[in-house]
């Protein structure tokens, strides 16, 4: 049976183009077009946006994004074997899909995109986390993107959306909460993928805030948070000793008890501490 876009089912696409999954590329494919359309809907209203998709593979999510009305999709894929399958999708949606072959960590997609831009991806988890950190820490804010809709290992998704006091709370949660609204919108069992990975997954949707939630110098905040969570079990006066000789005074100036541990400190207090540290 052909799908709504008139293209063959994904199992057939994979067989026709010999796209056996490669572990080295983190290939766990989504073959259910209802599911990929659902993920695309979580990315928001796509009709007025260009969508940057990283790692389209055989094109399940790409087809979901296009079927859900994305104005244009720019897809970056490292595995050249996928290009003929993606070319068929481009033909079914004239003028709406551009594919670039290459490593998303090395390509600057901006020249190919017109704002507003939304990003959607089902990526290998290590690449996904690296790109997420990059997208959350550009030199200027607001960033080039309006929203990110990204698949992660469930445990990583929980780290991105964690709140103070939980084990998952740390650098990723603070980075995400400072400049974005982040929430888990969908949970997926291993069987949703072919082949199934070992662990469950979740889709995280992040919306860029027009400006950071609290004022702080990004570099100083990053330094403070990294030092605090590098030794997360220590009291902050010990964990942050290297940042300033009078760190206890600065903690107090920021309204944080020097005996507190990083896990308990909310974003607002970390930003106040970054300002106190930057005050010289
Ligand atoms: N989006 C497809 C889906 O949902 O079925 C494929 C998902 S699979 C988890 C990850 C895809 O990312 C693969 O197609 C893989 O070849 C591609 N990929 C891996 N590393 C990449 C990189 N650095 N840059 C671009 N694509 C990459």
Render each residue's pLDDT in the chain as its tens digit; 280 residues: 456 789 999 999 999 999 999 999 999 999 999 999 999 999 999 999 999 999 999 999 999 999 999 999 999 999 999 999 999 999 999 999 999 999 999 999 999 999 999 999 999 888 999 999 999 999 999 999 999 999 999 999 999 999 999 999 999 999 999 999 999 999 999 999 999 999 999 999 999 999 999 999 999 999 999 999 999 999 999 999 999 999 999 999 999 999 999 999 999 999 999 999 999 7
Site to probe by mutation for ligand 1, drawn from 22, 62, 123 as the one with most ligand atoms within 8 Å of Cβ, is 123
Helix and strand element counts for the chain (H, E):
11, 9
Q: What single-letter DSSP state applies at residue 3?
A: -
Q: Has 32 been labeled as part of a binding site?
A: no
Distance 24 CA to ligand 1 centre (A): 10
* C-alpha span between 207 and 212 (Å, rounded): 12
* C-alpha span between 243 and 247 (Å, rounded): 7
Q: Has 28 been labeled as part of a binding site?
A: yes
Residue nearest to atom 12 of ligand 1 (CA): 55
CA 245 to chain centre: 36
**Where are the chain's structural domains?**
10-208, 218-278
Distance 54 CA to ligand 1 centre (A): 7
The fourth-level CATH superfamily of domain 218-278 is: rRNA adenine dimethylase, C-terminal domain (1.10.8.100)
CATH of 10-208, one of 3.40.50.150, 3.40.50.2300, 3.40.630.10, 3.40.50.300: 3.40.50.150
Q: Which atom of ligand 1 is nearest to the CA of 121?
A: 1
Distance 125 CA to ligand 1 centre (A): 10
Whole-prediction pTM? 0.96
* C-alpha span between 125 and 103 (Å, rounded): 14
Q: Is 59 in the pocket of ligand 1 (CB under 6 A)?
A: no
Q: Is-same-fold flag (10-208; 218-278)? A: no
């Amino acid at each position: 049976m052909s799908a709504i876009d008139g293209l063959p089912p994904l199992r057939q696409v994979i067989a026709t183009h010999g796209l056996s999954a490669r572990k080295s590329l983190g290939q766990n494919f989504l073959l259910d077009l209802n599911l990929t359309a659902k993920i695309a809907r979580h990315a928001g209203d796509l009709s007025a946006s260009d969508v940057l998709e990283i790692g389209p593979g055989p094109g399940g999510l790409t087809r979901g994004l296009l079927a859900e009305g994305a104005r244009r999709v720019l897809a970056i894929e490292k595995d050249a074997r996928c290009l003929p399958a993606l070319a068929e999708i481009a033909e079914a949606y004239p003028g709406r899909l551009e594919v670039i072959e290459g490593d998303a960590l090395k390509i600057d997609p901006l020249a190919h995109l017109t704002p507003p831009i939304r990003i959607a991806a089902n990526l290998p988890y290590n690449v996904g986390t690296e790109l997420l950190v990059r997208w959350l820490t550009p030199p200027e804010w607001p960033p080039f993107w309006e929203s990110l809709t990204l698949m992660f290992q469930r445990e990583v998704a929980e780290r991105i959306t964690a709140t103070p006091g939980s084990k998952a709370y740390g650098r990723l949660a603070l980075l995400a909460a400072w400049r974005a609204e982040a929430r888990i919108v969908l949970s997926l069992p291993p069987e949703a993928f072919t082949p199934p990975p070992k662990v469950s997954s979740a889709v995280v949707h992040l919306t860029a805030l027009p400006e950071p939630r609290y004022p702080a110098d990004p570099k100083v905040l990053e330094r403070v948070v990294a030092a605090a969570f590098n030794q997360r079990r220590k009291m902050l006066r010990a964990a942050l000793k290297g940042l300033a000789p009078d760190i206890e005074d600065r903690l107090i100036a920021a309204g944080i008890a020097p005996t507190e541990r990083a896990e308990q400190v909310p974003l607002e207090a970390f930003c106040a501490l970054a300002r106190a540290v930057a005050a010289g």
